[in-house]
Amino acid sequence: MIKVLKPGLATSVQDLGREGYYHLGIPPSGALDQYALRAANQLVGNPAGAAGLECTLVGPELEFQADALVAVCGAQMPVRLDGVEQYPDTAFKVRAGQVLRFDFPRAGARAYLAVAGGIDVPQVLGSRSTYGLGALGGWQGRKLVAGDLLPVGVASGKSRAGASLPMALRQSLGGEVLLRVVPGLYYDRLTATAARDFFSDAWTVGSEADRIGYRFKGGSALSFQPREQPFGAGSDPSNIVDSCYPIGSIQVPAGLEPIILHRDAVSGGGYAMIGTVISADLDLIGQMQPNQQARFVEVTLEQALEARRSYKKRLAFVQRLFT
Amino acid sequence: MNAPIRYSFGADEHLFAEVSDSMSLEAFFKGMAVTRAVERLQLDGVLDVCLANASFQIRFDPDRIAPQALLEAVQGAEAEAVAERSLHTRIIEIPVLYNDPWTHETLMRFRDRHQDPDATDLEYAARINGLADVEAFIAAHSGAPWFVSMVGFVAGLPFMFQMVERERQLQVPKYLRPRTDTPKLTLGHGGCFGCIYSVRGAGGYQMFGVTPAPIYDPQQQLDYLKEHMVFFRPGDIVQFKPIDRDAYDQAVDEVESGRFTLRIRSVEFSLDAFLADPVGYPQSLQEALA
């Protein structure tokens, strides 16, 4: 068991997510940075889909009640075990009674803590991921609070302390982030000026940035072409008849600030989407801190698929480590 | 409604399909026919087929099915799908305490985000729909059944489209800025759509009342939620029944003790019969609940 002494800002149990319920409004959930969770699981000998802890900006303080093998990947949030800093991206041994804490992030927004055996909460609809809006999955359907006692599964014994992610497979975080976008959906409803501004302006992450979506500010207002609104679409030119939202899709309510939906997305609504961030770049969004800068880069579907192949190739390297 | 569907990729994991840019039951029926045809294909790599009001979306794994191959398969399904004009479904009576104290407290807290800060959401909706007063609005809202045309936004939330002629559709804009809070099980309305907020949370729809009936419960404690934690499906028909505070309180007690249930009956819905007699036909559906 792991006892939560302090919960941190928004710590939740996540695995790779659940598929097949988005049509009922239940989004995939799962680690926003899937690569980091997979890497942390690999370091402690877990299957890729084991549940870990997603620790956001301010990490939790955890007391281990049994010996464990632990690794933290993702955001550079230095980990201290009884005050002693541990190597990042490296498995380390924790003895029963030891307390693990996080420093503030130097780069990135979400650290992923994997423990050998995984966080052993029940699967709900095929996943251990927490979907907070629906109070579903994870630990009691919510973020962790002080006093929670998290069960740990049986370790595979496939890894050991000191197992470390090669430098080439570590993530580089921070600085300006380039997010590749396939324009589409209702992109043609933007004015030509707005379509150009969207891709040429620099944007910064606003304060409303969470697992549901990231709001960006600082660029030009993005106007939609005026039209007589179709029946049922609502009165603002940015409105459409409520429809489904892709994960990674970008909407611009009232033409003001773009919002990119992430893995806890609201599944649909009445704001026109102007494009979608490619799957290979979704991890990057979850690692962005408030006020960090981004630019959107226009790509084709073919380029998105090529980027996905590179991403998967990198994942395959991680998946082959220590085996 | 015979215009071809407009397809667009939501990057490499989603295919988005707009049946029509305006809402109608015919657009919904066409979307339903195509999505059912796609489901029957059981394509490897299709993760989720999501039906919306007048559109749909397919979430897929491009490692297992190439986007172009998926598009061709869906277009094939579109060409072959015969938009069914009738539907075997169920009608459900949902009790509602209109003008309740909880949505009233909430709407007063967010008056600065509303078009008409001096009126309640119900008073505003009655006025802009040309109805004499709140009572007349409630009579219109609960006078004809509603079609569930989408489930989503959050887990299990039904979007509903009322079975009346277009001239009688109740329409209200959303709040100027979304609220950060909505009581759970609030009856909302935005554009031409009604909804029931399945959970507490943010929302932009006008608020008219609350139902005591849970419609989403991961614990699945009531009989009608045993089969699935999400109650509604697109194609369900909903009839609202105004209740008073005593009946509401009694229903809440029944929910808490696990005894609460809903009145649910099977019905055949015919789109053509509705279009031929949009006043009389919905009344014949209501009779199934009698």
Question: B221: helix, coil or strand?
Answer: coil
The tokens describing B197, both together, are 């907020």
Q: Give me the residues of A, 104-133, that contact B with CB < 8 A.
A: 124, 131, 133
**Interface touch B11/A185, C-beta < 8 Å:** no
User: Which residue segments constitute the domains of chain B, with CATH numbers given?
Assistant: 6-84 (3.30.1360.40), 88-289 (2.40.100.10)
Considering all CA atoms of chain A, what is the largest pairwise distance in Å, rounded to the nearest integer? 67
Non-local (6+) Cβ contacts of B250 within 8 A are none
pLDDT, residue B1, reads: 56
Count of CB pairs separated by less than 8 Å, A with B: 181
Q: Is the pLDDT of residue A241 over 90?
A: yes
Residue (of A261, A258, A293, A286) closest to A178 by Cα position: A293
pLDDT digits (tens, 9 = 90+) for B51-63: 999 999 999 999 9
Non-local (6+) Cβ contacts of A310 within 8 A are A280
Report the half-sphere exposure of A243 (CA within 13 A, side-chain side): 31
A233 lies within 8 A of chain B by CB: yes
The b-or-e profile of A116-139 (16+ CB within 10 A means b, else e) is: bbbbbbeebbebbbbbbbbbbbbb
Residue in B closest to A135 by C-alpha: B218
The nearest CA of chain B is from the CA of A208 a distance in Å of 12
Could you tell me the pLDDT band of residue A39, with boundaries at 50, 70 and 90?
A: very high
Could you tell me the pLDDT band of residue A13, with boundaries at 50, 70 and 90?
A: very high
User: Which residue segments constitute the domains of chain A, with CATH numbers given?
Assistant: 2-169 (no CATH), 177-314 (2.40.100.10)
Q: Is the pLDDT of residue B177 over 90?
A: no
DSSP-derived pairing of the beta strands A12-14 and A84-85:
unpaired
Confirm if A170 and A89 have CB atoms less than 8 A apart.
Answer: yes
Question: End-to-end distance of chain A based on CA atoms, in angstroms?
Answer: 27
A100 exposure class (CB count in 10 Å sphere: 0-12, 13-18, 19+): buried
CA A191 → CA A243, A252, B169, B289, distances in Å? 21, 13, 31, 50
Chain B residues with CB under 8 Å of A239 CB are 191
Confirm if A50 and A39 have CB atoms less than 8 A apart.
Answer: no
> What is the ipTM metric for this complex?
0.96
**Interface touch B198/A234, C-beta < 8 Å:** no
Residue (of A163, A167, A139) closest to A41 by Cα position: A163
Question: B89: helix, coil or strand?
Answer: strand
Chain A residues with CB under 8 Å of B51 CB are 23
Rounded CA separation A133/B182 (Å): 13
pLDDT digits (tens, 9 = 90+) for B38-50: 999 999 999 999 9
More confident position, B180 or A194? A194
- Phi first, then psi: what are they for A277, rounded to 5°? -70, 135
Chain A residues with CB under 8 Å of B24 CB are 231
CA A85 → CA A90, A109, B129, distances in Å? 12, 19, 65
Confirm if B286 and B239 have CB atoms less than 8 A apart.
Answer: yes
- Which pairs with CB-CB distance under 8 Å and at least 24 residues apart come from A187-191? A187/A274, A187/A275, A189/A224, A189/A225, A189/A227, A189/A237, A189/A272, A189/A274, A190/A222, A190/A223, A190/A224, A190/A225, A190/A274, A191/A223, A191/A224, A191/A225
**Interface touch B154/A267, C-beta < 8 Å:** yes
Rounded CA separation A14/A196 (Å): 37
Residue in B closest to A131 by C-alpha: B155
Identify from B5, B24, B47, B57 which residue to disrupt to test chain A contact, counting A C-beta atoms within 10 A and taking the largest count.
B57
pLDDT, residue B290, reads: 87
pLDDT, residue A254, reads: 85
Tokens 């992450």 — which residue? A205
pLDDT digits (tens, 9 = 90+) for A254-307: 888 999 999 999 999 999 999 999 999 999 999 999 999 999 999 999 999 999
A275 lies within 8 A of chain B by CB: yes
Tokens 């394509």 — which residue? B43
The tokens describing B148, both together, are 């569930």
Residue (of B167, B244, B250, B157) closest to B199 by Cα position: B157
Chain B residues with CB under 8 Å of A238 CB are none
Per-residue pLDDT, averaged over A196-214, amounts to 96
Question: B66: helix, coil or strand?
Answer: coil
Facing residue for A133 by CB, picked from B13, B54, B154:
B154
**Interface touch A232/B47, C-beta < 8 Å:** no
Non-local (6+) Cβ contacts of B118 within 8 A are none
Q: Is the pLDDT of residue B2 over 90?
A: no
**pLDDT averaged over every residue in chain B:** 95
Q: Give me the residues of A, 3-22, that contact B with CB < 8 A.
A: 19-22
Non-local (6+) Cβ contacts of B259 within 8 A are none
